[in-house]
C-alpha cells in the first residue's frame, strides 16, 4: 500500500506528481474515484481505456450507489454491497453513508453488523484490519508492523468473546472493530487511514463455530489465564511501540471477566477506554439527563433497577453515581439508589452466591429474590435499564408494573442486536398507556399509540465514542479518565431539544450526529487541556476550527495541479437516476465522444 503514502503526501487538495498510475491507481480504494476522473486526470494517470468513456460526478455516483443498495431486499446483502464499496472506493462509501446516515447506520452497525458477524465465514472476502493470534505471542510487534499504514492513531480491538448480545463469536467478531471504525470516520470525520481494526484470536469456546467448516479462526478452546494475559499485555505494548505512546486503544466486546479488569489494569498506563463500559455509560447518562426534563425528577431522585449486572450495567451505574454526586448526593446515597439483577437474581449480600466482585458497589442487604417481576414490585424503580442480552425480558406485566408505579416510567432496553432488546419500543408504549420514556440500543421503527406517532431514540455508544476519539486524537491526549465520559454525556444531553422530547426521543436525530460528535470532541479537547492530558501545544485558539481542519474530506480530491484546466462535467439534461432505474435508459443518456471534452 505504498501508493497510499504517496496519496497522503498531498499539499492542499492537489497531489504531487509521483502519484501511482494506471490500474494500481484504480485498485486503491483511497485513490479511486470511479468515473469522476477528469479527462486530463485519465490522460496523466494512464487511466484511459481502463474506465468507461462516460463521466459521472461524485454526486451522481452516490445516487447510483444508493439505488444499488436499496435494490437489495436482505439487509445482509446491503451490508455486503457497502463493504465491497468501502473496499473499492472509500470516499464514495463514506459520502454515501454521510448523506444517508439514518438509512445505512443500521446496516453497517447494529443490528445488521451482528448478523454479518454470525455469517462472517461466508462473507469473508479480503482482510480489513489485522488478525493477531495467540500463536503470534512473542512476535506481536512484527505482525503489527505488517500493517502498511504508518500514521495509525486509533485501534479498535476485540477478542470476540462477547459480540453484542450474541456471545462468543471468536474470529467472526472482526465485523465489530471494522464497523466501529467506520463510524469513527462516518460520524466524527476521523481519517480512515488513521484507524486500525484488530481481532485477537485466542480460540473460541463456541462449539458450533469449532465445528463450522467455514470458521476462519483458531479451531480450539480459548486460551485463558496467564498466557492470555501476557498476550494482551504484549499486544498493548506492541501497539504503542509501533504507533506511538498516545495511540488510542479501544477495547470492544470483551467478556465480563476480562473487560473490567483490563480497564483497571490499563486505564492509567495507556490512552485507552472500554467502549462497552465507558462509552455506554456516557450515552445512557446523557439519556437519563434528557429524561429528567420529562419526568421533572433529578437523577438523584430516581430509583434504578438494572436487568444484567455486567460491563454495561456497571459502567452506567458508576457514571450515574458520579452524576448524582454532581447533584449533591453522597457516594453512598447515590449507590443506594441503584439495584441490579443478574442471572442469579437480585444482587443481595444475603444470597448464597454473594455479590460478584465486578458489581460489589451495588449489592444490597435485603432478602434475595430470583423473580425479576417480583423484584420490580419490591424495589419500585422509576427507571428500568436492560443490559442482559435477554430479548423480551421486560414482559408486558413488568412494563405494566412500571406504568402502575410511575407517572412517566423510564424504560431503557439497551441490549443488541434488535432481537436481544429487553422489549420493543411499541411494547413499552402499549403497556404503559403511552406514558413511558423509552430508548433502545438498536433502532426501532416509529411507534403508533393513541393516534400519535413516536420516534424513540437509540441509546447507543455510537453517539459517544466517535466524538471522544476525535477529541483525544486531535489533542494527542495520553489518558482518558472517567470524567471525560461525563463531559461527553453532558454535551450530548444539551443537544436534545423540546421537539425531540415531544416525539419520545431522548437523543438528537441521527442526521445531527456529526455535529454532536464535533461538539463532544471540542469539549473533550478543552477538558484534555484543562486537566493536562493533552500533548499538542500550543493549545489551539479556536477548538472547533482546529478540529474541523483535521477532518476527513469526503469530496474527491483533484489529482492534477491547479494550472491544469479542468473540463466541465457534461451537463446534458438526463433523467434522474431514480427515474432511470425505474424505467429503461433512453437516448437522453449521456453519450459523448471523448474529443468533445477537450
Ligand X SMILES: NC(=O)C1=CN([C@@H]2O[C@H](COP(=O)(O)OP(=O)(O)OC[C@H]3O[C@@H](n4cnc5c(N)ncnc54)[C@H](OP(=O)(O)O)[C@@H]3O)[C@@H](O)[C@H]2O)C=CC1
- Cell 499539499 sits on residue: 11
Catalytic residue among 33, 56, 78, 180: 180
Residue 500 in the binding site for Mg ion (CB under 5 A)? no
Q: What is the largest CA-CA distance in the chain?
A: 86
Instruction: Answer yes or no: 266 catalytic.
Output: no
Strands ordered across the beta sheet of 338-342: 345-346, 338-342, 304-307, 383-386, 410-413, 437-440, 457-458
Q: Which position among 129, 165, 197, 508 is part of the footprint of ligand X (CB under 6 A)?
A: 165
Nearest to 310 by CA among 165, 207, 175: 165
Report the site for ligand X in 426-465 (rule: CB under 6 A).
Answer: 441, 459-461
Residue 118 in the binding site for ligand X (CB under 6 A)? no
Q: Which position among 302, 389, 431, 519 is part of the footprint of ligand X (CB under 6 A)?
A: 389
Compute the CA torsion angle 533, 539, 541, 545 (nearest 10 deg): -70
Report the site for ligand PYR in 106-125 (rule: CB under 6 A).
Answer: 110
The binding track of 410-429 with respect to ligand X, each residue x by CB under 6 A or -, is ----xxx---x---------
Which stretch in 29-37, 211-219, 231-239, 408-416 sits in contact with ligand X by CB under 6 A? 408-416
CB of 495 to ligand PYR, least distance (A): 19
CB of 481 to ligand X, least distance (A): 20
Q: Rounded CA gap, 177 and 73, in Å? A: 26
Q: With respect to ligand X, which residue has the nearer C-beta, 465 or 559? A: 465
DSSP-assigned letters across all residues of 282-306: HHHHHHHHHHHHHH---GGG--EEE
Helix, strand, coil % in the chain, rounded to nearest 5: 50, 10, 40
Q: With respect to ligand PYR, which residue has the nearer C-beta, 420 or 514? A: 420
Q: With respect to ligand X, which residue has the nearer C-beta, 37 or 341? A: 341
433 phi, psi to nearest 5 deg: 55, 35
Report the site for ligand X in 224-283 (rule: CB under 6 A).
Answer: 256, 276, 280, 283
- 264 exposed, middle or buried (CB, 10 Å; 0-12, 13-18, 19+)? exposed
Q: Would you tell me the crossing angle of helices 101-108 and 75-88 to the nearest 10 degrees?
A: 100
273 phi, psi to nearest 5 deg: -150, 160
Q: What is the DSSP letter of 574?
A: -
Give the number of residues in contact with ligand X, rule: CB under 6 A.
30
Report the site for ligand PYR in 46-105 (rule: CB under 6 A).
Answer: none
475 phi, psi to nearest 5 deg: -100, 0
340-372 burial, b if ≥16 CB within 10 A, otherwise e?
bbbebbbbbeebeeebbebbebbbbeeeebeeb
CB of 442 to ligand X, least distance (A): 8
Q: Which position among 253, 422, 430, 523 is part of the footprint of Mg ion (CB under 5 A)?
A: 253
The binding track of 349-378 with respect to ligand PYR, each residue x by CB under 6 A or -, is ------------------------------
Q: Rounded CA gap, 158 and 167, in Å? A: 13
- Pull the grid cell for residue 309: 449486572
Residue 158 in the binding site for ligand PYR (CB under 6 A)? no
Q: Which position among 41, 159, 253, 500 is part of the footprint of ligand PYR (CB under 6 A)?
A: 253
Residue 31 partner contact from Mg ion, ligand PYR, ligand X, none using kind-dependent CB cut-offs of 5 to 8 Å: none
Report the site for ligand PYR in 275-314 (rule: CB under 6 A).
Answer: 275-276
Q: With respect to ligand X, which residue has the nearer C-beta, 145 or 264? A: 264
Residue 461 in the binding site for ligand PYR (CB under 6 A)? yes
Catalytic residue among 109, 306, 507, 556: 109
Is the Cα torsion angle 217, 218, 221, 225 positive or negative in sign?
negative
Residue 310 partner contact from Mg ion, ligand X, ligand PYR, none using kind-dependent CB cut-offs of 5 to 8 Å: ligand X
Q: Rounded CA gap, 69 and 86, in Å? A: 13
Residues 6+ apart with CB under 8 A from 327: 298, 299, 300
Instruction: Answer yes or no: 104 catalytic.
Output: no
Q: Rounded CA gap, 582 and 584, in Å? A: 7
Q: With respect to ligand PYR, which residue has the nearer C-beta, 110 or 440? A: 110
- Pull the grid cell for residue 333: 446515597
Residue 276 in the binding site for Mg ion (CB under 5 A)? yes
Residue 313 partner contact from ligand PYR, Mg ion, ligand X, none using kind-dependent CB cut-offs of 5 to 8 Å: ligand X
Q: With respect to ligand PYR, which residue has the nearer C-beta, 7 or 254? A: 254
Q: With respect to Mg ion, which residue has the nearer C-beta, 60 or 274? A: 274
Q: With respect to ligand PYR, which residue has the nearer C-beta, 238 or 488? A: 488
Residue 460 in the binding site for ligand PYR (CB under 6 A)? yes
> What does each C-alpha distance from 484 to 49, 257, 279, 451 come to in angstroms?
53, 24, 10, 41
Q: Which position among 107, 164, 248, 393 is part of the footprint of ligand PYR (CB under 6 A)?
A: 164
Residue 161 in the binding site for Mg ion (CB under 5 A)? no
Q: With respect to Mg ion, which residue has the nearer C-beta, 253 or 369? A: 253
Q: For the chain, report the end-to-end CA distance as a whole number of angstroms.
A: 33
Positions that interact with ligand PYR (CB under 6 A): 110, 164, 253, 275-276, 416, 441, 460-461
Positions that interact with ligand X (CB under 6 A): 162, 164-165, 256, 276, 280, 283, 307-313, 341-344, 387-390, 414-416, 420, 441, 459-461
Positions that interact with Mg ion (CB under 5 A): 253, 276
Catalytic site positions:
109, 180
Amino acid at each position: 500500500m505504498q501508493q497510499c503514502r504517496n496519496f497522503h503526501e498531498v499539499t492542499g487538495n492537489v497531489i504531487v506528481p509521483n502519484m501511482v498510475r494506471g490500474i494500481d491507481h484504480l485498485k486503491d480504494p483511497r485513490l479511486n474515484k470511479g468515473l469522476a476522473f477528469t479527462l486530463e486526470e485519465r490522460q496523466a494517470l494512464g487511466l484511459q481505456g481502463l474506465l468507461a468513456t462516460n463521466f459521472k460526478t461524485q454526486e451522481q455516483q452516490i445516487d447510483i450507489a444508493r439505488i444499488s443498495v436499496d435494490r437489495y431486499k436482505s439487509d445482509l446483502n446491503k451490508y455486503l454491497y457497502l463493504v465491497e464499496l468501502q473496499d473499492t472506493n472509500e470516499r464514495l462509501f463514506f459520502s454515501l453513508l454521510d448523506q444517508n446516515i439514518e438509512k445505512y447506520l443500521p446496516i453497517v452497525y447494529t443490528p445488521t453488523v451482528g448478523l454479518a458477524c454470525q455469517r462472517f465465514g461466508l462473507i469473508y472476502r479480503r482482510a480489513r484490519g489485522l488478525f493477531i493470534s495467540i500463536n503470534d505471542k512473542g512476535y506481536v510487534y512484527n505482525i503489527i508492523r505488517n500493517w502498511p499504514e504508518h500514521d495509525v492513531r486509533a485501534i479498535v480491538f476485540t477478542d470476540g468473546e462477547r459480540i453484542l448480545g450474541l456471545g462468543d463469536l471468536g474470529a467472526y467478531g472482526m465485523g465489530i472493530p471494522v464497523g466501529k471504525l467506520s463510524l469513527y470516520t462516518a460520524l466524527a470525520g476521523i481519517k480512515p487511514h488513521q484507524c486500525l481494526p484488530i481481532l485477537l484470536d485466542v480460540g473460541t469456546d463456541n462449539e458450533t463455530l469449532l465445528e463450522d467448516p467455514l470458521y476462519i479462526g483458531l479451531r480450539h478452546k480459548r486460551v485463558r489465564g496467564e498466557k492470555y494475559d501476557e498476550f494482551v499485555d504484549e499486544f498493548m505494548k506492541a501497539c504503542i511501540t509501533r504507533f506511538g505512546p498516545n495511540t488510542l486503544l479501544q477495547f470492544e466486546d470483551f467478556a465480563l471477566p476480562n473487560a473490567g479488569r483490563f480497564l483497571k489494569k490499563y486505564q492509567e498506563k495507556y490512552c485507552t477506554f472500554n467502549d462497552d463500559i465507558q462509552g455506554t455509560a456516557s450515552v445512557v447518562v446523557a439519556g437519563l439527563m434528557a429524561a429528567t426534563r420529562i419526568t421533572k425528577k433529578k437523577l438523584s431522585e430516581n430509583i434504578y433497577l438494572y436487568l444484567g449486572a455486567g460491563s454495561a450495567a456497571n459502567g452506567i451505574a458508576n457514571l450515574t453515581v458520579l452524576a448524582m454526586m454532581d447533584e449533591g448526593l453522597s457516594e453512598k446515597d447515590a449507590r443506594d439508589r441503584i439495584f441490579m439483577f443478574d442471572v442469579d437474581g437480585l444482587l443481595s449480600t444475603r444470597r448464597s452466591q454473594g455479590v460478584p466482585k465486578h458489581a460489589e458497589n451495588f449489592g444490597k442487604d435485603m432478602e434475595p429474590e430470583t423473580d425479576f417481576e417480583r423484584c420490580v414490585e419490591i424495589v419500585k424503580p422509576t427507571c428500568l435499564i436492560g443490559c442482559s442480552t435477554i430479548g423480551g425480558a421486560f414482559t408486558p406485566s413488568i412494563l405494566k408494573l412500571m406504568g402502575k408505579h410511575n407517572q412517566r416510567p423510564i424504560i431503557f432496553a439497551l441490549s443488541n442486536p434488535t432481537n436481544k432488546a429487553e422489549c420493543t419500543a411499541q411494547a413499552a408504549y402499549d403497556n404503559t398507556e403511552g406514558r413511558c420514556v423509552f430508548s433502545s440500543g438498536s433502532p426501532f421503527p416509529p411507534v403508533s399509540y393513541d393516534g400519535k406517532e413516536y420516534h424513540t431514540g437509540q441509546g447507543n455508544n455510537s453517539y459517544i465514542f466517535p466524538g471522544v476519539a476525535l477529541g483525544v486524537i486531535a489533542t494527542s491526549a495520553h489518558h482518558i479518565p472517567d470524567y471525560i465520559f461525563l463531559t461527553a454525556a453532558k454535551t450530548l444531553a444539551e443537544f436534545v431539544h423540546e421537539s425531540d422530547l415531544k416525539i419520545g426521543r431522548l437523543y438528537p436525530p441521527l442526521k445531527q450526529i456529526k455535529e454532536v460528535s464535533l461538539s463532544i470532541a471540542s469539549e473533550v479537547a478543552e477538558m484534555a487541556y484543562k486537566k493536562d492530558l493533552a500533548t499538542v501545544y500550543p493549545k489551539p485558539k479556536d477548538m472547533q476550527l482546529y478540529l474541523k481542519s483535521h477532518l476527513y474530506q469526503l469530496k474527491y480530491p483533484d489529482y492534477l495541479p491547479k494550472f491544469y484546466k479542468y473540463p466541465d462535467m457534461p451537463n446534458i439534461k438526463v433523467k434522474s437516476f431514480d427515474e432511470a432505474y425505474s424505467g429503461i435508459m433512453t437516448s437522453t443518456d449521456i453519450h459523448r465522444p471523448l474529443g468533445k471534452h477537450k
